[in-house]
Structure 1
């Protein structure tokens, strides 16, 4: 089994009915940063970005934003 870090930003945006641009305006983060985080296309996740996003969504638990996604190698055969 392989652990993959999953950023659940796309799910949060949908749940809160918020666009990426609205989140940019609320957090001060760039459109590019929000986009790569929402699409899980980032290798190094800036702690400041996670903190700003958590504040914007009023999250109490970091696992609401970032978590492990278990992926079994058998699923890819």
Structure 2
């Protein structure tokens, strides 16, 4: 039996920690504000958006998520 991986988005926490608004991130990344607003609620993410957001924030894509391994 394989491990189950649970992935939880954490973009809004990162923005709060850094004092960045969704509108500011939209301008920095080129990702529409509506997509940023829905990021933590969605279970699917557009690859290009994830990379653009990570690049704008200076983090790795994995840092946008909490990844947990559950046996």
Q: Distance in 1 between matches of 2:17 and 2:68?
A: 19
Segments of 4+ moved more than 4 angstroms: none
Q: For residue 11 of structure 1, what is the aligned residue in structure 2? A: 13
Unaligned runs of 5+ in 2: none
Residues in 1 aligned to 2:47 and 2:54: alpha-carbon distance in whole angstroms? 10
1:29 partner SS: coil
Q: What is the match of residue 30 of structure 1?
A: 32
Partner of 2:41: 41
C-alpha deviation, 1:70, in angstroms: 6.9
* 2:62 corresponding residue in structure 1: 63
Cα root mean square deviation, aligned: 2.0
Deviation of residue 63 (structure 1)?
2.6
1:50 corresponds to 2:57? no
Q: TM-score, with normalisation over the residues of structure 1?
A: 0.72
